[in-house]
Amino acid sequence: MEALTGVFNSSFVIRHSNFVIPIPMPSTLISPTQLLPPQLLAQLERLELVSRKIFRGRMKGERKSKRKGQSVEFADFRNYVAGDDLRFIDWNLYARLDKLFLKLFLEEEDLHFFALIDTSGSMDFGEPTKLDYARQLAASLGFIGLIRGARVKIETLGSTHKNPGPTLRGRASLWRMMDYMGGIQAGENVPLTTGIKNFCVRNTGKGIFILITDLMDKEGYDKALRFLVAQQMDVYVIHVLCPEEIAPDLKGDLKLVDCEDDDQAEVTVSRPLLDKYKRTLASFIDGARDFCNRRGMNYLMTSTDTPVDKLVASYLRKRGLVK
């Protein structure tokens, strides 16, 4: 059971007594056309990020707020109070009802969009790798934010005060985002708790927060995700796994070697053991989903064989992140 627990708490290189299964090569630089191909960009152009919470932006933007302010879109009326701006009095209503009413308009403000990507060694697994999938997903959501006037910031768990991710705004910043995303590589074996805590300290703005991770951390995810609850942001946890982790095709006597800390476990893989692994993995996923739901966070488990365009336009639309 100890070996079984290690399977989903950390990624392993699988070694047989007579051979070694090839280890995936480290993530390479990825071109802009690979990250966001033209057909994907065309689909993303029609989408918009949505926040369930009301946040006061730093400057005017394109997002319609639930707060009342100044724009060209009418929202409601309210009674006139001494000191209100006379320019917004509806004189037509005054002529009909002999009462003063003020016209209210929807406020337009900018939305903060944060994405934090897990770049630990366990993310460099699968085909495509979980990290490549995470980069494309973050870039897709970041692109939607940029074209809709949101303030976009994408970082990795290993980012620091000295090496933060860029803060981006507007379509003209797309090349900077692509340049940053293309250079992200695996190997930053920073614990979830440390990475998320440091991110929260550096970034105090309110808005939408996306964590893209495989949740494979021997210290667990509980303490790490509690930092996000304290931020009072609209939090989405995207749990990324690859098909080889969901339904491993293994058999025989194997030595499992942790790709992050070289911890080892020898197991004999049989059908009952694989069945137990799948039950344990399902329990782990259910536990993460329940943990997030009880704390007002959105949880979504996805496989790397689910196309990013389908994930964004279908699954995340149903969760209310995009429209």
Give the span between the Cα atoms of 106 and 104, in whole angstroms. Answer: 7
Q: Tokens representing 40?
A: 């994907």
96 φ/ψ sector (left φ>0, alpha ψ -120 to 50, else beta): alpha
Most distant CA atoms of the chain, gap in Å: 93
Point out which residues pair with 15 in neighbouring strands.
20, 255
Among candidates 214, 204, 182, 254, which has minimal Cα distance to 29? 182
Per the CB < 8 A criterion, the answer to whether 320 and 47 are in contact is: no
Query: Once rounded to an integer, what is the mean pLDDT over residues 225-247?
Result: 91
Give the span between the Cα atoms of 141 and 143, in whole angstroms. Answer: 5
Q: Tokens representing 86?
A: 């006379």
Could you tell me the residue ranges of all domains in the chain? 30-55+110-251+270-318, 68-108
Give the span between the Cα atoms of 60 and 243, in whole angstroms. Answer: 43
pLDDT tens string 124-166: 998 889 999 999 999 999 999 999 888 999 999 998 888 888 8
Q: Which residue has the tokens 């536990």?
A: 287
pLDDT tens string 158-205: 988 888 888 898 889 999 999 999 889 888 889 999 999 999 888 877
pLDDT tens string 269-314: 889 999 999 999 999 999 999 999 999 999 999 999 999 999 998 8
Give the span between the Cα atoms of 317 and 322, in whole angstroms. Answer: 5
Mean pLDDT of all residues in the chain? 81
What are the CA-CA distances from residue 151 to residues 148, 193, 276 (Å)? 9, 25, 45
Helix (H) or strand (E) holding 13: strand 12-16
Q: Which fold has domain 30-55+110-251+270-318?
A: Rossmann fold (3.40.50)
The pTM (predicted TM-score) of the whole model is 0.76
Instruction: Tell me the Cα Rg of the chain.
Output: 24
pLDDT tens string 16-37: 333 333 444 444 456 667 788 8
* 73 pLDDT tier (thresholds 50, 70, 90): low
Q: Tokens representing 136?
A: 């494309």
* 56 pLDDT tier (thresholds 50, 70, 90): very low
Among candidates 114, 104, 106, which has minimal Cα distance to 51? 114
Q: Which DSSP letter does residue 165 get?
A: P
Per the CB < 8 A criterion, the answer to whether 277 and 261 are in contact is: no
Predicted confidence at residue 133, as pLDDT, reads: 95
User: What are the helix (H) ranges across 154-270?
Assistant: 174-182, 192-202, 222-231, 243-246
Q: Is the pLDDT of residue 62 over 60?
A: no
Give the span between the Cα atoms of 51 and 155, in whole angstroms. Answer: 20
Give the span between the Cα atoms of 218 and 211, in whole angstroms. Answer: 18
What phi, psi does 160 have (nearest 5°)?
-130, 180
Point out which residues pair with 257 in neighbouring strands.
13, 264
112-117 and 207-213: which strand pairing?
A: parallel
pLDDT tens string 89-117: 888 888 888 888 877 765 545 688 999 99
Q: Is 68 helix (H, G, I), strand (E, B) or coil?
A: strand
Among candidates 262, 251, 276, which has minimal Cα distance to 16? 251
Per the CB < 8 A criterion, the answer to whether 14 and 254 are in contact is: yes
The neighbour count for residue 131, using CB atoms within 10 Å, is: 31
Per the CB < 8 A criterion, the answer to whether 56 and 210 are in contact is: no
Q: Tokens representing 90?
A: 């509806």
